[in-house]
Amino acid sequence: MIALLLALALAAPPAPLPRVLFRTDLGDLVIEVDEARAPATARNFLRYLDAGRYAGGSFHPDGQGFAVLGRVVSGMEVVRRIHAAPARGQSLSPPVKILGAARVAP
C-alpha cells in the first residue's frame, strides 16, 4: 500500500490541456480543449485551428447551446452574448465574427 501511495505521489502531473484564444467582434474568449473526454472532436478541432480555418469565420448555433470539447477558461461574458444572439436557421443575426484563433500557453 505504501508503495502505491509513493508511486502516485511521484507520478508526473498530467500534461496541461491545450488552450485556444478566439478573438471575436464581441471580445476575446479562451477555451481549454479536453482531448481525453472528446478525443476525435478535440483532434479535429485542433487540426482545423492549426490550419487557420477558424480565422475569418463566424459562430453558428449548434441547436443545443453548447459544444462538447472542453471548457471556457476566460471570456464567459462573450459566450453568454453569443448564446443570447438571435438566430435565423444556422446563422446568428447579426453574425458574430471570429477575427482570429490560435493556441495559447496554459
pLDDT tens track of the chain, all 106 residues?
A: 555 555 555 555 677 889 999 999 999 999 999 988 888 989 999 999 999 999 899 887 766 555 567 889 999 999 888 888 888 877 888 888 999 999 999 8
Residue in this structure with the C-alpha cell 453574425, named with its chain if needed: 95
Residue in this structure with the C-alpha cell 462573450, named with its chain if needed: 78
Q: Enter the pTM of the model.
A: 0.79
Sorted by where each begins, the domain ranges of the chain are 16-104
Question: Does domain 16-104 sit in CATH 2.40.100.10?
Answer: yes
Query: In the structure grid, which three cell numbers stand for residue 65, read together?
Result: 447551446
